[in-house]
Amino acid sequence: MLDQALSRLSRFGRWVSYRAVSAAVHQPLALRGLAAFVQKTPRARGLLNMVASRDDVVDAFQRPSAFSNSAHRPNLVAGDFAIGMESDARHACERAQLLRQLPSPAAFAERASAESRRLVAALQADGARRFDLIDDYMVPIVWQALGGSFGQALPPLPPGDPMFLNLRYVGAHLIAGSSATDAVQRRALESAAALNAWVRAQLPALQALWGMPEVAQREAVARNVTGMLWVGHPATVQAGALLMQELLARPKVWRELAGRVRQSVDPWTDQPLRELLGRHVLELLRFRPPFPILRRQVPRDVLWGADGAARARAGSEVTLMVIGALFDPKAYAEDGGGDPARYDPDRVFAHPADRYMVFGAARRQCIAPEQVVETLVSALTGLLQLPRLRWAQPWWRRMRYDGPIIVSAPLAFRATAGGGDGA
């Protein structure tokens, strides 16, 4: 009887923890408040094992041996991947291999733009004037953009294919896997098995495409193709949903950008316009980063923080509040940074590399920040051409979540602009 009660209590505790983590990553204002408290209270760093200032977060990124990505390893249900490896020679080789197979940002832009054109034309021809931002728009655009890494080696996936759900569930596990309930764990493991089987069924073609045909290279190709898929696809889809959530809350910015797009003969290939939209994409993600907090494993006792005044014990974990670093006034140039809480796509960073901090920093930054931005710019370009785009549901059910992942975001638009575009 006691064992059953304890088991139920444990399951309930995991359910509460999973819900709390899933909700927290979608509360940027609350996370910014916590980060501000940690920044103003140096003792809180050690008590909470948390860094929140720009200098402290970057210091942790720059010391991967002291703050290890191995904290991700328990959540890698689809197998080992560079994101969970120690920063050693093996990680350097894996990262170099991934970079070799990655098309240029321009190639991502071209593929994403072609799919965005197709989808926007289909939406405008459809009398419903309603669609789901996730399944009907972002999922196919990101899949087409990412497909440049695999050519014809992977078969096409039609809309609604179960493999997209498998990618979603495996990707979500990276965020909240450590607190997931038994049911969520089982679902992620089943999706990981299906994804691995699908990739391995295409291995001969993938090995030939990547120029790694030897038997001894099979596992490396399978591991890295699988990893690129379950990290790259769901994370970029979520980034698109988050930036639209932020942009639709800023109708003035939306109207200005929609006006600029209407003035362009071909907005998808208009380079000055794409550069403008790229700055807005990064600023929107600064307010709603896909990974606002990150965990790092501490393999040995270490002094940390940019001032070296905090101590972390071996075996503990440190939380990096990336969102805190993005809103630290010290991250911006005195003559051009302005108030971090103000929306400004043209703000000047004290350290130019911080422009991409939503994707990490130093050697552990995402391998494709520019490719992701180009994909999102192409997607945004299409959305800005839909007259009076707005949420299709009331505020309390605008989005549907499955754990930490946005799984549905219905939108609606009008047949014609009818007096101006706006959210």
Place of tokens 């720009």: 54
Position 327 in a domain: no
- pLDDT-derived band at 182 (thresholds 50, 70, 90) equals confident
CATH of the domain at 258: 1.10.630.10
Residue 10 pLDDT greater than 60, yes or no: yes
Q: Which of 408, 292, 409 is nearest to 27 (CA)?
A: 292
Give residue-wise pLDDT tens across range 356-398.
999 998 888 999 999 999 999 999 999 999 999 999 999 889 9
pLDDT at 336: 57
- pLDDT-derived band at 191 (thresholds 50, 70, 90) equals very high
pLDDT at 247: 98
Q: How far is CA 199 from the centre of its chain?
A: 22
Residue 244 pLDDT greater than 80, yes or no: yes
Mean pLDDT estimate for the chain:
91
**Cβ atoms of residues 85 and 68 within 8 Å:** no
pLDDT at 231: 94
pLDDT at 418: 53
Report if pTM > 0.75: yes
Give residue-wise pLDDT tens across range 267-286.
999 999 999 999 999 999 99
Q: Span 97-111, mean pLDDT?
A: 96
Position 338 in a domain: no
Bridge-based pairing state of the strands 410-412 and 130-132: antiparallel
Give residue-wise pLDDT tens across range 125-150.
998 899 999 999 999 999 999 999 99
pLDDT at 18: 84
Range of the structural domain that residue 279 is part of: 56-319+369-412
Lowest mean pLDDT among 27-41, 119-133, 238-252, 296-310: 296-310
pLDDT at 335: 65
Position 39 in a domain: no
Position 201 in a domain: yes
Position 237 in a domain: yes
Q: Span 166-174, mean pLDDT?
A: 93
Q: Which residue has the higher pLDDT, 319 or 7?
A: 319
**Cβ atoms of residues 333 and 349 within 8 Å:** yes
Q: Is the dihedral of CA 381, 382, 383, 387 positive or negative?
A: positive
Give residue-wise pLDDT tens across range 397-413.
999 999 999 999 999 99
Bridge-based pairing state of the strands 317-321 and 50-51: parallel
Q: Span 145-172, mean pLDDT?
A: 93
pLDDT at 279: 98
Position 157 in a domain: yes
Domain count, the chain: 1
Residue 111 pLDDT greater than 70, yes or no: yes
Position 94 in a domain: yes
**275: Cβ–Cβ under 8 A, 6 or more apart, which residues?**
none
Q: Span 219-229, mean pLDDT?
A: 96
Residue 417 pLDDT greater than 60, yes or no: no
**Cβ atoms of residues 168 and 401 within 8 Å:** no
- pLDDT-derived band at 292 (thresholds 50, 70, 90) equals very high
Q: Which residue has the higher pLDDT, 18 or 388?
A: 388
- pLDDT-derived band at 11 (thresholds 50, 70, 90) equals confident
Mean pLDDT highest for which of 13-27, 270-284, 307-321? 270-284
Lowest mean pLDDT among 44-48, 324-328, 413-417: 413-417
CA angle 335, 336, 341 (to 5 degrees): 120
Residue 68 is given by DSSP the state B
Position 417 in a domain: no
Place of tokens 């593929």: 111
Residue 55 pLDDT greater than 70, yes or no: yes
